[in-house]
Amino acid sequence: MTVSSQRKHCLSALLFLLVASRSESVDLSYNASFSSRVGVHVNGRVGLAINRHTLEAQQTAKWLNSWSLVGGARVYADSAFAMNDRYNAPVRGIESQEFAPRDLYLQYKNRGLQLRIGNQQVVWGESFGFFFADIVNPKDTREGGLGGDLAAQRIMVPMVNFSWFQGNYALQFLYLPKPFLNLTPAQGSDFAVPLGPFFPGFNVTLSDERILPLALSSSEVGIRGTAILNGWDMGAFFFTYFDRRPSYRPTFAGADVSVRGVHDRISSWGLTATKDFDAWVSRLELIYTANRPVDSFVFNAGAPTQSFGTSTSDEFVGVLGFDYTQWRDWRLTLQVSQDSYLRSVPGSLLPQNSTNLSFVLGGTLFRNHELTVIQSYCVNDGSALSQLLYMMPLSSRLEATIGTYLFTGSPSSSFGTFRGANRVFLQLKGYFGAG
């Protein structure tokens, strides 16, 4: 979304809120948070990894019990990139500051009908930590999915979201008139996969599509049905959309190569289920995506410009997770996921089969301090991501968190690629609100 269109969205919402607030029957509420996160690299890299100050606010106006208008925005400034010579201009440009509209929608809700029009997020998945079935909203991947809460990493996009629910059944239709795509890290960022090695001897420049034109042919449509039967909460969905993740198409000109991240139309079918088994709560996700683009690299000494290519393969993802519910002060979640490309792509940059094991162990310690340990382990290459978060509430409005992200494994492994991003950080977050 461009800055001018973001401003237009926000101004319209503010005007709407102003008009709405003049009515006597309007119920207004707001909430806001301010956070400051300072982190330093570990693993040899010097300097700040992050020095980010973020303000997020949301205003809700409700009237006549059926209508509501929600408007929110987030703004941040980060000085770590300007203060550290190792980051290049594109990284500084994309990471140093941002203004983004968040939830910005008009809602009509009457009994079992709900219509939401505007910027919003829709979540279909059941798993934790990864966005397997969570395919509707594009994601901000600039910090490798570690920049904050899952909700904070989803990019709100304009859509029409119609839901009908009756008893234990619900049906949801989505229409996205204009595709918005993942916000990816610039080359040189801690969380970027370097493209240079795939184009040896060339000067590489990268540009990534963020949006596609507004046209009927580029609109996206989704449908999801859910049912609760005998304690099983089940969902089935279909979504035709443009792949949120880019595949790369190089264009060579002498010693230069311009790599463009493009996004092809794909379709996904999925099933989700959860069930409370008393001592355990189980979660399941199955997602099938037809003809998903897969980048490949097979070095061709005779024609190096032919080395990099893109093919397609059907993708199947299965996720099974369990939450253990019987401990007093601790909670444990175990999750295993399998991501398979059903057709082999020679030289694929993604493994044909990838198995991931994860667990979350969290608990309350003395004085309401909370410790969370998250471990993700890639079975294929032995790489891992360890996260440790220690949160101390300082008051009812303020909390401090000390955390660390540690990637381990070989430089070419799933998690080891990002070893340079290893960091420890301190975050202060304050909450405000009324109504």
Check: CB of residue 354 under 8 Å from CB of residue 338. yes
* 331 lies in the site for another protein, by CB under 8 A: yes
Distance CA 359, CA 161 (A): 33
Task: Give the contacts of 254 (CB within 8 A, at least 6 positions apart).
Answer: none
* 260 lies in the site for another protein, by CB under 8 A: no
Check: CB of residue 293 under 8 Å from CB of residue 247. yes
Give the closest residue to 263 by CA, choosing from 135, 92, 415, 173.
135
* Residues paired with 115 in a beta bridge: 108, 162
Distance CA 1, CA 212 (A): 10
Rank residues 152 and 236 by Cβ distance to another protein and give the closer one.
Answer: 152
* 66 lies in the site for another protein, by CB under 8 A: no
Q: Name which position in 226, 247, 268, 335 contacts another protein (CB under 8 A).
A: 226
Distance CA 241, CA 386 (A): 33
* Residues paired with 362 in a beta bridge: 331, 372
Window contacting another protein (CB under 8 A); options: 237-245, 303-311, 323-331, 377-385: 323-331
Window contacting another protein (CB under 8 A); options: 10-18, 39-47, 210-218, 321-329: 321-329
User: What residues between 133 and 152 interact with another protein by CB under 8 A?
Assistant: 149-152
Window contacting another protein (CB under 8 A); options: 83-91, 107-115, 250-258, 414-422: 107-115
User: How do beta strands 256-262 and 203-208 pair?
Assistant: parallel
Q: Name which position in 59, 121, 189, 311 contacts another protein (CB under 8 A).
A: 121
Distance of CA 36 to CAs 53, 76, 305, Å?
A: 4, 10, 45
Q: Name which position in 6, 12, 114, 340 contacts another protein (CB under 8 A).
A: 114
* 233 lies in the site for another protein, by CB under 8 A: yes
Query: Minimum Å distance from CB 312 to another protein?
Result: 30
Token output for 424: 């420890």
The full DSSP string for 406-428 is EEES-TTSTTGGGGGG-EEEEEE
Number of amino acids touching another protein (CB under 8 A): 49
The full DSSP string for 102-161 is EEEEEEEEETTEEEEEEEE-------SSS-SS--SS-BB-TTTT-SS-HHHHBPPEEEEE
Query: Minimum Å distance from CB 10 to another protein?
Result: 20
Binding track, positions 262-281, relative to another protein; x by CB under 8 A = ------------xxx-x--x
Rank residues 203 and 325 by Cβ distance to another protein and give the closer one.
Answer: 325
Window contacting another protein (CB under 8 A); options: 40-48, 121-129, 297-305, 354-362: 121-129
* 74 lies in the site for another protein, by CB under 8 A: no
Residues that bind another protein (CB under 8 A): 31, 109, 111-112, 114, 121, 123, 125-126, 149-152, 154, 163, 165-168, 170, 172, 226, 228, 231, 233, 274-276, 278, 281, 283, 323, 325-326, 328-329, 331, 367-368, 393, 395-399, 429, 431-433
